[in-house]
Amino acid sequence: MSHDAVDVIRTKRDGGQLSPDQIDWVIDAYTRGDVAEEQMSALAMAILLRGMTRAEVARWTGAMIASGERMDFSALTRPTVDKHSTGGVGDKITLPLAPLVAVFDVAVPQLSGRGLGHTGGTLDKLESIPGWRAALSNTEMLAQLDDVGAVICQAGSGLAPADRKLYALRDVTGTVESIPLIASSIMSKKIAEGTGALVLDVKVGSGAFMKDLQDARELARTMVDLGTDAGVRTSALLTDMSTPLGLTAGNALEVRESVEVLAGGGPPDVVELTLALAREMLDAAGRPDADPAAALADGRAMDSWRAMIIAQGGDPDAPLPTARHTEYLLAPADGVVMEMDAYAVGVAAWRLGAGRARKEDPVQAAAGVELHAKPGALVRAGEPLMTLHTDTPERFTRAMAVLDDAVQLAPEGSRPARAGIVLDRIGS
């Protein structure tokens, strides 16, 4: 049946519930170009202001999935589990996590994206490895899952095309922050991807999309419900993103740190979160007794990483690009680091060339920020707090400007209040 876009907008504008028919029609008509961009922007704004019920969000997500193809992993002999992070600063967890989980005869189809704004993209990071390629056909992807067990690649354009169109629109109309629209955007792609189980890493704090624990919990609950209703075993961890993860934000810098983790070292917070998510994923895939910490220690995770990189044309032994120019941010006084604002560090890395302002912008593989101290560390005046890396030194001034108030120091003997990195878990 046919509907009228203005009626659909009015229903939601006035606080009504959209019918299943209205939702199916508006998503299909918008994807085909029969609903104009300005009409969809008005509807997105009405949804942002009025919200959606669980039934509406589920139907909206289903309609976005129906706009494209669905992948099918049923031919694989091992269970599939995927992880999605809502994005943060220094969040390189996918890199060590996918090969680590694959060690235990689990297939990890990690369809990832590129960075936009202050949060880095997994594909941009991996593309700093010489020869590595992000674009795989479905056949290549299945073959690699069968052989290596882990793949990190870009999603084909056939998955949830309605989401791609709507996401670009939300970006320019101030409607990104709507929880139903965020949840349906993420979950339509993940459900269409065909994974059997899904673990969500929902970030909370200054460097995250959700600054507030309550909002993050609502988003996590909405996504867990959507996955569960679609027959995907789904759970979520709420994790702290007030401080950058690890000691690096940038592309090649984060790959280097990920390889340290796979070699049994690396920063404690990155290891802690990698293991927490690995345990959650292995449990969801029916491997509750697996010991991911042992696989980091004994080299199996590194073997799995090397096989994954080689399968996608990369050379795991090639030197990673290094920046032509570096500059230090120095401690202004003696003291204990109390806070290090993740958002400011993310923006600085972006301004140095590690990220992009528009989808088509190139990124610098070697640009970014390296941290020499994290909250709790004692520093002396004049010691480096951070090293800034870029190939284009004219970028230093703007990057330094955003870091002016990023680090809060307190007198020696002070202690920052630190919760663990995992703040909460939400299951079905």
Q: Looking at the annotation, which residues are catalytic?
A: 84, 163, 170, 185, 189
Q: How far is CA 69 from CA 59, 80, 109, 159, 188, in A?
A: 17, 18, 16, 5, 11
The pairs formed by 35-41 with CB atoms below 8 angstroms and a separation of 24 or more are 35/5, 36/5, 37/169, 39/5, 39/6, 39/9, 40/166, 40/169, 41/169, 41/173, 41/175
Q: Which long-range contacts (CB under 8 A, 24 or more apart) does 133-138 make?
A: 133/312, 133/313, 133/314, 134/312, 136/312, 138/71
Distance CA 14, CA 154 (A): 39
Element (H, E) at 204: strand 197-204
CA distance 221 to 216: 9
Residues 81 and 285: beta-carbon distance below 8 Å: yes
Tokens of 332: 């202004």
DSSP count for the chain of H helices, then E strands: 16, 13
117: its two tokens:
């704004």
Q: Round to whole Å and give the CA distance between 285 and 132.
A: 28
**Separation between Cα atoms, residue 194 and residue 258, nearest integer Å:** 27
Which residues neighbour 234 within 8 Å (Cβ) at sequence distance 6 or greater?
Answer: 197, 198, 199, 200, 223, 224, 226, 227, 228, 428
